Amino acid sequence: MFMEIVILTQLMNAPSYGYQIRQKAAKTVGPYYKINNNQLYPKLRHMEEKGYITKEISAQEGKPNRHIYSITGLGIEYFYTLLKTFPAEDAADENEYLMRIGFFHILDANARADILEKRRKTLHLEYEHMNYLTELYQKEKYVPYSKDYFQFSKDSIMKELDLIDEMLKKAE
């Protein structure tokens, strides 16, 4: 879902050709998530087949034709559906979660609460796992930094849980 949301986000701003979509998306999602042509163009074809986007061919002198993609009304509806659709397993995926947070201003209160509750459950599981690892490696002399890292992770999780609680209170 993440890739489709990224593509549709770019097309909601303006019609674009594939290279533009990749460049704009790279700025949006950051340096660690690379979109390559083997990911982008199959997604574009699929979304075109479904009617979410259209493709216009623009001839260029001395260069290959440029395919310019635009979002359709159905594509806008699909975009909103993707944002609201947040399976529990996606709550552990930082990209999926942060993409939804980035569009909280256009989601209704129920969709926001659902996303936050699923993320909260995931964080509680991660916290329990960090506790388990802390106990497991507490007496290990070969992994001296593990305890510090596990504590850092637990502290980070607790901060995010506090933030989620604040966000849920604001949504009421």
pLDDT tens profile 75-120: 999 999 999 999 999 999 988 898 899 888 889 999 999 999 999 9
Answer whether residue 46 shows pLDDT above 90: yes
Please give the structure tokens belonging to residue 35: 């979109």
Do 36 and 75 belong to one domain?
yes
User: Which residue range(s) make up the domain with 125?
Assistant: 108-171
Mean pLDDT of 30-40: 79
Whether 94 is in a domain gets the answer no
pLDDT at 2: 83
| Cα 65 from Cα 163, distance rounded (Å) | 48
Please give the structure tokens belonging to residue 4: 């489709």
- Backbone dihedral region of 27: left (phi > 0), alpha (psi from -120 to 50 degrees) or beta? alpha
| Cα 44 from Cα 46, distance rounded (Å) | 5
Do 130 and 165 belong to one domain?
yes
Do 81 and 112 belong to one domain?
no
Whether 10 is in a domain gets the answer yes
Do 6 and 69 belong to one domain?
yes
Answer whether residue 160 shows pLDDT above 90: yes
Do 72 and 16 belong to one domain?
yes
Assign 165 a pLDDT band (cuts: 50, 70, 90).
very high
Contact by Cβ (8 Å): 68, 55: yes
Whether 96 is in a domain gets the answer no
Assign 143 a pLDDT band (cuts: 50, 70, 90).
low
Structural domains of the chain, count: 2
Do 76 and 112 belong to one domain?
no
Average pLDDT, the chain: 88
| Predicted TM-score of the model (pTM) | 0.80
